[in-house]
Structure 1
Amino acid sequence: MSHIDELIAEFAPQGVEFRLLGDIAELVRGNGMPKADLTEEGVGAIHYGQIYTRYGVWATETISFVAPETAVKLAKAQPGDIIITNTSENIEDVGKAVAWLGGEPIVTGGHATVVKHNEDPKYLSYWFQSESFFVQKRALATGTKVIDVSAKQLMKVRIPVPPLEVQREIVRILDQFTQLEAELEAELEAELEARRRQYASYRDSLVNAVDGPRVAMGELGTFMRGRRFTKSDVVESGIPSIHYGEIYTDYGVSASRAKREVNSDMVAQLRFAQPRDVIFAGVGETVVDVGKAVAWLGDGPVAVHDDTFSFTSELDPKYVSYAVQTDDFHAQKANHVARGKVKRLSSAGLSKIKIPVPTAEEQERIVSILDSFDALVNDLSIGLPAELAARRKQYEYYRDKLLTFGEPAA
């Protein structure tokens, strides 16, 4: 019998009780606090968007602040409260939680709910990561383009509420396991980053060693700008599409399937990249990001956003996609980027950048070699990425086992 089983036998001999979240906590919906309100000093503040990207299970310090006169209008989180997100673009992120363990009250805004309770805050925050919560929030969620689980819906979530002694033991174990997992993950990430640098160096040397002319891209093919569509145009089933922002976050060197689709009614107002075209992002937050490309290898055309350019040529599309990752390409590109708050690269600028042009056979050989290297550092099914993914799944498995209880017999 584990120590947790012993504690349950001692403090909950009839079994662990399940309660509605609304029965064990007060849920206070946040309001306001756009990013423009955030400052570098003042009253601590957690913006709902930061919970996805900047916070873990718990926090003792905030990344952002708001002015005191702004804070008085916002929802307050006391030490020990949970802040949970209500809105996201996907079901995985909605309902992500952070336990506030700092010494002073802080504030939060719209699209977040403060959960005020008498349980162990880290226990609740860990439970909000569990498979049990995921299944329930999926059933309670509304919306397709933007997913929402309201405070009212969250109140319906059924949660196991073991005695505090059991909660604290679970937290102790999960804290240790989380620390070990984080240390191992950091080691694997460092090794993976070293492999990526090695791969980038080899890729550059392979492309730069090409025995062939260096030709401006405008002489090798044509660029076509896409047409505008927005997130509100995204549907479950429609026209395959690629938005410029997705090139940074969702795509690698090439793609044969689009991650998202837009409304079929828009077909007449869209522009399409054809199979074997290379799609460039024309906008980015940094000079390095702008101009990132993905080779489109799908069976049919794909709609492209107006901040992208599709490049049509006789070159191997994956060779082009690899060639425009090199330091030489980035150095030339930097001369053509418009440096405002948002960095922009025009088709005219892209047309002036020169890339090495080997024979078709040599392009194929280079692609074959680099595909193998790219898989080793980016493919989640093999190598270090696979080991990282396996460690995360192992952690999730043991976390869920610790947070799963049989319900007492009626």
Structure 2
Amino acid sequence: MKDWKTVRLNEIAESVDYGVTTSATDHPIGPKFLRITDIQNGTVNWNRVPWCKCNTCSTVNSRLNPGDIVFARTGATTGKSFLIQECPKDAIFASYLIRVRVGALAEPRYISHFFQTPNYWTQITKSARGVAQPGVNATTLKELEIPLPPLEEQKRIADILDCAEDIRAKRRAALAQLDELIQSIFIEMFGDPILNPRQWSQMNLDAVFQFQTGKLDSNAAVPSGQYPFFTCSREDFRIDTYAFDCEALLLAGNNASADYSVKHYKGKFNAYQRTYVITLQDERNSYEYAIFVLEHRLSELKRISKGTNTKYLTLELLKRIRIPVPPQTLQKEFASRVAAVEKLKNAHKASLAELDSLFVSLQYRAFRGEL
């Protein structure tokens, strides 16, 4: 590491900027408007990113380019970063994000990989400000210390880590294909639950489920907590305490653009105060069936949401939703077929866990100059 040096981010950054304060819209009236909630599990689906209306000056100053790195500066995802590798020509970023654009001395991919390391997270944790809502600011980011080798070495390290990440991504893609297989089985057995082609009897949600909510703020998450912590984000979080010990569906109760999600979990967990914890009244029905039928109602939930800047769901709205309830024997058959696919998924997950462990080791060596 004789050619390496430790620098502060402001020494290698061309700019560190806050985003634009404006409202998102589903109508294409201006540039794409990237928000914290659009960054999920290290990816952005630009087709789902909304637009916004803003003046020309804001558009120019906040335009995103490949190579930019954006940071969540507040909330449960404080400090999480995302490297823009591709984006629409006209795309800007929201005020709860900070954009870092590195200069000629740094390779963006190398810097982005550093922002995933324990070294980075230790610095962020120490500097995060606030109690009720911890956050970081541009000044905090500028002071981050980064181990910096010569530019060509940065590129070599980034290539190695990119290759390792690509292998992990392929394993995650295999898992996604198995999820698609389960969806195909569902349609084969029950048909589209919106159209209800089998003419199953229909019931209101409150006749099928019991509803509770969590009690915690979204920033209660702990990075390496013992239990799952379900918020209104699609991303998974952890926490050190649990309030529930059961099988349940977890429905996001609010979302900036009403893009809700529903998850299934069995065991000890905790939940954000706007997350609905949903349990079956009759356990002879199937959670495996229930989650898919609710997922098919998410577009309806988006349509009937209340609120302006942040959309939300009330219990009264949920109670009015009707779903088909097929025979319990058919639900159980579906659950059995799902269990068979889940065995395959578990094998892939075990392999992915090994790859994740190897990646952490590789990452550790990379930033110590040992690759």
Partner of 1:148: 135
Q: How does 1:237-252 map to 2 (within 5 A)?
A: 245=232
- Which of 264, 269, 290 aligns to 1:324? It is 290
Among all aligned residue pairs of Structure 1 and Structure 2, give the percentage whose two residues are the same amino acid.
Answer: 14
Asked whether the 8 Å contact 1:46–1:64 carries over to 2, the reply is yes
Deviation, 1:160, is 0.9
Asked whether the 8 Å contact 1:41–1:64 carries over to 2, the reply is no
Structure 2 counterpart of 1:384, which letter? H
Deviation string for 1:99-151 (max 9, x for gaps)?
A: 57789896434121334433222221222222321232222223455441222
Matched, 1:72 2:58: yes
Asked whether the 8 Å contact 1:242–1:259 carries over to 2, the reply is yes
Query: What is the CA–CA distance in structure 2 between the aligned matches of 1:81 and 1:144, rounded to whole Å?
Result: 32
Query: What is the CA–CA distance in structure 2 between the aligned matches of 1:66 and 1:320, rounded to whole Å?
Result: 41
Asked whether the 8 Å contact 1:81–1:114 carries over to 2, the reply is no
Alpha carbons of structure 1 residues 304 and 310: separation in structure 2 relative to 1, 3 Å? farther
Matched, 1:192 2:178: yes
Alpha carbons of structure 1 residues 294 and 108: separation in structure 2 relative to 1, 3 Å? closer
Query: What is the CA–CA distance in structure 2 between the aligned matches of 1:227 and 1:62, rounded to whole Å?
Result: 27
Structure 2 residue runs without a partner (length 5+): 192-199, 307-312
Asked whether the 8 Å contact 1:75–1:114 carries over to 2, the reply is no
State the secondary structure of the residue aligned to 1:85.
strand
State the secondary structure of the residue aligned to 1:149.
coil
Deviation, 1:303, is 10
**How many pairs does the alignment contain?**
345
Deviation string for 1:317-338 (max 9, x for gaps)?
A: xx442453566x999x89x989
Structure 2 counterpart of 1:394, which letter? L
Deviation, 1:33, is 3.3
Pair member with larger Rg: 1
Q: How does 1:8-407 map to 2 (within 5 A)?
A: 14-25=2-13, 27-36=15-24, 40=28, 46-52=34-40, 55=43, 69-72=55-58, 75-76=61-62, 82-90=68-76, 94-99=79-84, 107-111=92-96, 112-118=98-104, 119-143=106-130, 146-183=133-170, 185-186=172-173, 188-189=174-175, 191-193=177-179, 196-197=182-183, 200=186, 226=212, 231=217, 245=232, 281=251, 312-313=281-282, 315-316=283-284, 319-325=285-291, 340=304, 346-347=318-319, 354-356=325-327, 369=336, 372-373=339-340, 375-376=342-343, 382-405=346-369
Query: What is the CA–CA distance in structure 2 between the aligned matches of 1:324 and 1:294, rounded to whole Å?
Result: 9
Query: What is the CA–CA distance in structure 1 between the aligned matches of 2:26 and 2:321, rounded to whole Å?
Result: 36
Asked whether the 8 Å contact 1:225–1:310 carries over to 2, the reply is yes
Alpha carbons of structure 1 residues 16 and 38: separation in structure 2 relative to 1, 3 Å? farther
Structure 1 counterpart of 2:108, which letter? P
State the secondary structure of the residue aligned to 1:160.
strand
TM-score, with structure 2 as normaliser: 0.63
State the secondary structure of the residue aligned to 2:79.
coil
Asked whether the 8 Å contact 2:251–2:278 carries over to 1, the reply is yes
Structure 1 residue runs without a partner (length 5+): 1-7, 9-13, 206-213, 252-257, 263-271
Query: What is the CA–CA distance in structure 2 between the aligned matches of 1:307 and 1:233, rounded to whole Å?
Result: 17
State the secondary structure of the residue aligned to 2:116.
coil
Deviation, 1:42, is 5.2
Deviation, 1:296, is 7.3
Deviation, 1:51, is 4.3
Structure 2 counterpart of 1:324, which letter? A
CA RMSD, 1 decimal: 5.7
Deviation, 1:167, is 1.5
Asked whether the 8 Å contact 1:281–1:308 carries over to 2, the reply is yes
